[in-house]
Amino acid sequence: MIEPGTKAPDFSLPDHDGNQVSLSDFAGRRLVLAFYPLDFSPVCTDQLSLYQEVLGEIEAKGASLVGISVDSSFAHHAFRKHRNLNMTLLSDFNPKGEVSRAYGAWIDSVDHGNRSLVLIDEEGIVRWSHASPTPVEIPGANLIFDALAA
């Protein structure tokens, strides 16, 4: 997992509508990256539904929350619509897992991302990171709020 104090690796990925979103789009604002394995899986559905419930509180603390998985933009679009999600979902599809790997949020043995959270500050420095011990353990929203308060 990427270590706090590290300059956040730059990225540019398509979102759920196919628009390119880059790290630089969040300059001057704190950003929480929520890496997760796959859209529509039961645990991922629970994880992102939980984050959707607290999204307004995260934004009120001056941060944006973005989900990243290896699913395509088309899958993200359908998943957002099906689950009534408002957060941006980014596709780490091609090359598969490149951004997830750069942040240390990848599991080679299953060929997808782990459930991991990364807080990036206004200057693009990683301030906090968390990797779940297994892909079936959801990192709770309390972890995000603790990181934002620190």
* C-alpha dihedral sign at 94, 64, 30, 58: negative
Structural domain includes residue 1: no
- The number of distinct structural domains making up the chain is 1
Structural domain includes residue 53: yes
Predicted confidence band of residue 113 (pLDDT cuts 50, 70, 90):
very high
Alpha carbon of residue 71 to chain centroid: 13
Q: Which domain holds residue 63?
A: 12-149
Could you tell me the CATH number of the domain that includes residue 59? 3.40.30.10
Q: Is 44 a catalytic residue?
A: yes
Cis amide bond preceding 95, omega within 30: yes
Structural domain includes residue 5: no
Predicted confidence band of residue 8 (pLDDT cuts 50, 70, 90):
very high
Structural domain includes residue 6: no
* C-alpha dihedral sign at 133, 1, 57, 75: negative
Alpha carbon of residue 51 to chain centroid: 10
Residues 6+ apart with CB under 8 A from 51: 34, 58, 65, 67, 87, 141, 144
Structural domain includes residue 2: no
Global pTM value: 0.97
List 31, 44, 126, 144, catalytic entry: 44
Question: Residue 86: its pLDDT value, please?
Answer: 96
Structural domain includes residue 3: no
Question: Residue 145: its pLDDT value, please?
Answer: 98
| pLDDT digits 0-9 by tens, 44-85 | 999 999 999 999 999 999 999 999 999 999 999 999 999 999
CA 137 – CA 61 distance, rounded (Å)? 25
Structure tokens at 14: 């398509």
| pLDDT digits 0-9 by tens, 16-27 | 999 999 999 999
Structural domain includes residue 24: yes
Structural domain includes residue 130: yes
